[in-house]
Structure 1
Amino acid sequence: MPEGPGQITADGRADTTEGRRRRRAKRGDGGRLREELLEAAAALLDDAGEDAVTIRAVAQAVGVSTPSVYLHFDNRLELLHTVCLGVWDELGRRMRRSGAETVDPFAELHQRSVAYIRFGLDHPLRYRLVATGPATAATQQVADACFRFLRDTVQRCVDVGVLHGDVTALTRAICACLHGAVSLLILQPTSNWPADIAQYADDVATLASQGAAALPRGHLGR
């Protein structure tokens, strides 16, 4: 039977397929239901993979009707991306930590580039779902956050004369290198990945930062 809206109770919950009626929710219970749905989707994703996360499966795991899920998420993709956002918050923490380790903006650019690559390879499924699949509001949110962290560092590099050119254009080029390095691996079996992931991340970060520094004046928007 296809997934889709149907009849629901006043609190957004409904009889299960066995006809067992749930209690009426108190005011504010909607937020708790949303968290339950996200927890169930995350468990399905981690245990059985992307294909296991369907609106119906998540609803059954929580004990609600499929229309109850649609009250909180417009579609399956939005649900999946929202689950992934919790992990992407970790990238911001890594970026902030790496930026705090040095006062040299060029060294900071390298460290943040390493942090980006290592994050993507530590969370390949969630990275792929948000960064390489169909775009949603979550995709834009993640892209904006990642771009902002790197752009701030590129701006400081330009300010001290290590990099030359338009800050936004330079950041886009560096982001393309980092995203490409992650995507190249996560689309392959892990058995094909380099044996030393730390060295791989360091090498790519070096190529991205040193390559940007090697661009002559007049390139990339200036």
Structure 2
Amino acid sequence: MSIQRRRTRSPRGSGELLADEIIDAATDLLLDEKEAAAVSIRAVATRVGVTPPSIYLHFADKDALLDAVCARYFGQLDEQMARAEAGLDDPLERALSLGMSYIRFALDTPVLYRQAFARITADNLSKVDEILAASAFVHFSRTVGELAEAGMFPASQVADIVLEWWSAAHGIASLMISKPSLNWGDDLARAETMLRSVCLGRVVMGVAECREPDALRGFLARLRDS
């Protein structure tokens, strides 16, 4: 039988503080148990020291609570990516730094990362999607936009390239989490090489204005000769 901690009555106007405590407790429970199934309303209430009905005053159900956990997670991702691009004037180096920051963040919090991307996206953007779009997508978009302004590729391709680079970072992070025994190298060396290849390869495609292998090989051969 679980023992619920007694909790003193919160002062007037502290509903937001209690909501934060609930999100903290749900996050801790998810990290401890490593699966969303363990995050029940009753278990979270026990951790906070309130009754289950108190949880429902702030979150309609378990899904809403997990959405709040994921929204906070993506807010933290936004802060980390902002630090990753600070002081980097070269947009190509900034793109690489953003991608590596994204991967490191995922590796530091694999349980939350898996849960955040396990949430099914509806046709309309949820609050979680909006926060994610304001973090990873906005940071990548700003940098890719600068590369387009520099003539690396047409402005019409910016959204597509952002999705490609984001997918590359997400795919590498997911594989490193699920298959950590692969030869990733020291200090994420393999991941950095892969991301750099994606970034530079896309720029070459944009500058060369060719996608067919023969045309691309010809462009690279002329580049080497020059």
TM-score under structure 2 length normalisation: 0.76
Aligned to 1:92: 78
TM-superposed deviation, 1:159? 0.6
Task: Please tell me whether the aligned partners of residues 31 and 111 of structure 2 are also in contact (alpha carbons under 8 angstroms).
Answer: no
Q: Structure 1 residues 160, 80: CA separation in 2 closer, same or farther (over 3 Å shift)?
A: same
Stretches of structure 2 lacking an aligned partner (at least 5 in a row): 212-226
Deviations 1:162-212 (A, max 9, x none): 2345211111121121112122233x2544573535213312221221122
TM-superposed deviation, 1:160? 0.9
Aligned to 1:10: none
Task: Please tell me whether the aligned partners of residues 131 and 139 of structure 1 are also in contact (alpha carbons under 8 angstroms).
Answer: no
Task: Please tell me whether the aligned partners of residues 41 and 83 of structure 1 are also in contact (alpha carbons under 8 angstroms).
Answer: yes
Q: Structure 1 residues 141, 59: CA separation in 2 closer, same or farther (over 3 Å shift)?
A: same
**Structure with greater proportional helix content:** 2
**Which of residues 201, 206, 209 in structure 1 aligns to 2:199?**
209
Secondary structure of the 2:112 match is helix
1:36 corresponds to 2:26: no
Aligned mates of 1:81, 1:202 — CA distance in 2: 31
Aligned mates of 1:44, 1:193 — CA distance in 2: 32
Q: Structure 1 residues 72, 189: CA separation in 2 closer, same or farther (over 3 Å shift)?
A: farther
**Which of residues 114, 136, 141 in structure 2 aligns to 1:151?**
141
Deviations 1:118-165 (A, max 9, x none): 212221111111124323421332134210110000000111122345
**Which of residues 79, 94, 101 in structure 2 aligns to 1:115?**
101
**RMSD, aligned CA:** 2.8
TM-score under structure 1 length normalisation: 0.77
Task: Please tell me whether the aligned partners of residues 22 and 55 of structure 2 are also in contact (alpha carbons under 8 angstroms).
Answer: yes
Aligned mates of 1:37, 1:139 — CA distance in 2: 21
Task: Please tell me whether the aligned partners of residues 103 and 173 of structure 2 are also in contact (alpha carbons under 8 angstroms).
Answer: yes
Alignment of 1:41-56 (within 5 A): 41-50=26-35, 51-56=37-42
Task: Please tell me whether the aligned partners of residues 81 and 129 of structure 1 are also in contact (alpha carbons under 8 angstroms).
Answer: no
Aligned to 1:9: none
Aligned to 2:217: none
Aligned mates of 2:17, 2:84 — CA distance in 1: 34
Q: Percent identity?
A: 32
Deviations 1:31-50 (A, max 9, x none): 22212212221221222222
The one-letter code of the counterpart of 1:99 is: E
Stretches of structure 1 lacking an aligned partner (at least 5 in a row): 1-16
